[in-house]
Structure 1
């Protein structure tokens, strides 16, 4: 098996979910009595809340280099938003970062989805690190909620979901956003916050959900097992 480096901490709830899923998915192949070689570096979520992009990039580069030096053969970032550092960090290390949008794009293509709604916090929805990657590598268009709803979505993510709080109000808000995005042409919904699939399950909505955490973890397991 190959050794995978994990950058977690945003939030620790999502890190636990990643760690659990990767172990389970690899265990399905090698046996539940074994587990894969993983190197985990968990950061303080406050770094992301400061929204200082240069500081965030510098920190992720430092961690990525340390993971590489420690023997990691690839890196997975255990959240959506920190993928904003990908273009800056990837060229400066010698091992691949498994991009979450690659997992999204492959799943969307498998189901014939060409336009996706993107839900999450404000940096994820308004940034180009997921929509740009999907457009360039898969030809997939991405649409986000109307500007009037962006701050509300951000608050639900940062003040509730990343703290492990899952309310009916948040669930109703995101279900409504899915309906509005579908009216604008979205064929499926990117759950662009690691905690969103914990809030809304596929059986609770008619819209195809692209659950980034599960798909990203499967990409990690495939790498560990030498399938990619």
Structure 2
């Protein structure tokens, strides 16, 4: 089996990815079995002011440092269970020391496999407005749309003031359901839970639309790579293709 590296950025999302990878491994390999996993986590708080200024250079440098740690630990490839962090990883800079799965590529590949044509994107304000998911969808022949500006501001605030701190309320859940309903009314056929904490708030049962859970999809795809059912990725940062 291949050795999986988790390049973590936010705590809740990376924890969910880790646990999903362990549990999925046990379901395929037997009790208490899963691929070797190493995680590197530089505190996200060091990057928050850089995110607000959209200064990707120091953010990317921290993520590169984590990738170097994973490579030194013997990982064969990495996953980064943080959608927004991929914006920094896609920015200009030296190649990463090991290849990784691109979360938007994993999600849109699954969307196409399931036959969806129009996707609603939920995530941080950067994930919902920057080109990453929209271009990834376009490469698969799909359309992606984001909520309106007011709803984007609300989702972003909840992510950082509640979800990233492990706080999940019925009020936030109800408001997210309303936002998903509005995307459904605009013709979306599925909703991308494009912040790795949102799946802890919104489940497939509570959502008015089928969900594409970026966190768990990434973990399951990583397991397939680790077991040799999928090829090793070749993306080492920079623009996705």
TM > 0.5 fold call: yes
Tell me what 1:5 maps to.
5
* Residue matched to 1:114: 117
Q: Deviations over 1:144-177 (max 9, x none)?
A: 0111222111101110111111112211111111
How many pairs are equivalent? 226
Gaps of 5+ in 2: 231-241
Specify which of 189, 197, 211 is matched with residue 199 of structure 2: 197
- Does residue 157 in structure 1 map to residue 156 in structure 2? no
On the 8 A contact 1:119/1:145 being kept in 2, the answer is yes
Aligned 8 A contact 1:61 1:89 in 2? no
1:5 match: secondary structure: strand
Structure 1: runs of 5 or more not aligned: none
1:94 positional shift? 4.8
Per the alignment, residue 44 of structure 2 pairs with: 45
CA distance in 1, matches of 2:42, 2:114: 35
Indicate the structure with greater helix content.
1
Alpha-carbon deviations, 1:175-216, whole Å to 9, x = none? 111111122221110011112111121112331111111111
SS in 2 for 1:106: helix
User: TM-score, length-normalised on structure 2?
Assistant: 0.88
Q: What's the offset of the Cα at 1:221? A: 0.7
Q: Is the 8 A contact 1:60 1:89 kept in 2?
A: no
Q: Displacement, 1:91?
A: 6.3
**TM superposition shift of 1:66:** 2.8
Indicate yes or no: 2:51 matched with 1:60.
Answer: no
1:109-148 correspondence runs (5 A): 109-136=112-139, 138-148=140-150
C-alpha change, 1:90 and 1:208, in structure 2 (3 Å) is: farther
Q: Give, in whole Å, the separation in 2 of the partners of 1:90 and 1:140.
A: 29
Matched, 1:100 2:99: no
Q: Counterpart of 1:180?
A: 182
Q: Aligned partners of 1:47, 1:108: CA distance in 2, in Å?
A: 33
What is the aligned partner in structure 2 of residue 218 from structure 1? 220
Give the C-alpha shift of residue 19 in structure 1.
1.0
Question: Separation in 2 of the partners of 1:69 and 1:133?
Answer: 30
Give, in angstroms, the shift of residue 90 of structure 1.
8.6
Distance between the aligned counterparts of 1:55 and 1:89, measured in 2? 12
Q: Distance in 1 between matches of 2:115 and 2:46?
A: 37
Superposed CA RMSD in Å reads 1.7
Distance (Å, rounded) in 1 between the aligned partners of 2:41 and 2:79: 12
- Taking the aligned partners of 2:115 and 2:121, their CA distance within structure 1 comes to 17
Other structure's SS at 1:22 match: helix
Alpha-carbon contact 2:56-2:91 (below 8 Å) kept:
no
